Amino acid sequence: MKQNKNSKMKFVVVLTLMVVVILAAFAVLSNKQESLPTEIKQIDVTGQPSRGEKDAPVTVVEFGDFKCPACKAWGEKIYPKLVNDYIETGKVKFSFVNVLFHGKESTLASIAAESVYERNPDAYWNFHQALFEAQPVENHDGQWITPEKVLEIASVFPEIDQKLLKEDMEQEATMESVEIDKDLVSEAGVSLTPTIVINGRMMEDPFDYEAIKSAIEQEIKDKD
């Protein structure tokens, strides 16, 4: 009888271990699946702020919001790696699409950025970075993007005509470009920022740089 009970106990232990192993394997597979890209429609980046080789085999698009703290973090942690590994080596063209998830402030920042891009394209990326750097570490949801703040940020760049920038913000002169971005956001089904799209493939985790590298390398391989 005692031997029979021991056998039953061993069976229960083995069965429990098997269940644990299966669940662990499922969790690993699920985590891997989360980093895989999702196929969407190729993003039309005509007229969008872009850097890198025009004919690069891979186009990486960031859908970002100047009010978004995660976008700021992505720009600090992931973007420099992308520049160093792929943009400066001619393998990737990088484009930015404005997202307006934070309402009026997002819209104002986008109008200002588009104004700088249209009037002083060489200053755009530095201004773009400066806008994100100006985002407060705490209380980022509080109102901080104002015409006065934008002009203060722009004052660092002598090539930016502040009078024209002020007029463009007041008159919403670049709203047509911002509306184009809104349409792109809708067409791509973007619901979170930042969203990273690589040759029409939306990355599940924008902070998984290894997955980004893998997707880029696969696209390069497919082009060869």
Q: What is the pLDDT of residues 132-148, one digit of tens each?
A: 999 998 887 889 999 99
Average pLDDT of the segment spanning 66-85: 98
Contacts of 106 (CB under 8 A, 6+ apart): 65, 66, 67, 98, 99, 100, 145
Average pLDDT of the segment spanning 211-220: 97
Q: Supply 164's token pair.
A: 């024209």
What's the confidence (pLDDT) of residue 38?
81
Q: How confident is the model at residue 11 (pLDDT cuts 50, 70, 90)?
A: very low
CA pseudo-torsion sign 114, 61, 223, 87: positive
pTM summary value: 0.83
What's the confidence (pLDDT) of residue 7?
54
Please state, for a pLDDT cut of 90, what percent of the chain lies above it.
78
- Between CA 154 and CA 102 the distance in angstroms is 21
At 123 the three-state DSSP class reads: helix
Element holding 102 (H helix, E strand)? none
Please, are residues 87 and 95 in contact by the beta-carbon 8 Å criterion?
no
Q: Which of 210, 31, 177, 212 is nearest to 107 (CA)?
A: 177
Indicate whether 2 pLDDT > 50: no
What's the confidence (pLDDT) of residue 151?
98
What's the confidence (pLDDT) of residue 108?
98
Q: How confident is the model at residue 192 (pLDDT cuts 50, 70, 90)?
A: very high
Count of CB atoms situated within 10 Å of the CB of 29: 10
- Identity of residue 36: L
Q: Which of 99, 116, 102 is nearest to 145 (CA)?
A: 102
Q: Supply 200's token pair.
A: 């029409």
Indicate whether 81 pLDDT > 70: yes
What's the confidence (pLDDT) of residue 40?
80
Q: Which of 97, 72, 73, 92 is nearest to 82 (CA)?
A: 92
Q: Which of 112, 133, 135, 127 is nearest to 158 (CA)?
A: 127
What's the confidence (pLDDT) of residue 13?
41
What's the confidence (pLDDT) of residue 18?
53
Indicate whether 163 pLDDT > 80: yes
